Structure 1
Amino acid sequence: MAERDELEARCDALEETVAHHQQTIEELNETITAQWREIDALKRHFARLGERLQEVEEASGAGAVPSEKPPHY
């Protein structure tokens, strides 16, 4: 009977461990999903800023200015 009790205790411990792992996986998945949404929003924002910068450069004629370092560098 002691062997059966030991097996039941081991099974209970394994079930508890699996439950904790499942919870951790769900939390990690939620975190990754939130980060993906934030990265996607930042990419879109960055693209819009790049477009606006290009429009400003074209409107001001800054696109014609060379982007070389001055000779004193």
Structure 2
Amino acid sequence: IIVCLAFGIPKPQILWLKDSIPVDLTDPRLTLLESGSLQIREIKKSDEGQYECVAINELGSAHSHPGKLYVKG
């Protein structure tokens, strides 16, 4: 689970980026949790990369600091 904590009024929508490209949430291994965190199941080498969350509401957007995910093995 990669954590994203975002607060705002109105409540922001959360978007995840991997290597600056929106994460494909149609992949059944990926779940955007109610908290805004990203859950990755059955992790693969191809999941490795730089992740960041973006919180968006009608007042604007805010990007998290990017974090690098390394997959060992």
TM superposition score normalised by structure 2: 0.18
Structure with greater strand share of residues: 2
Structure with greater helix share of residues: 1
Q: Which structure carries more relative contact order (alpha carbon 8 Å, separation 6+)?
A: 2
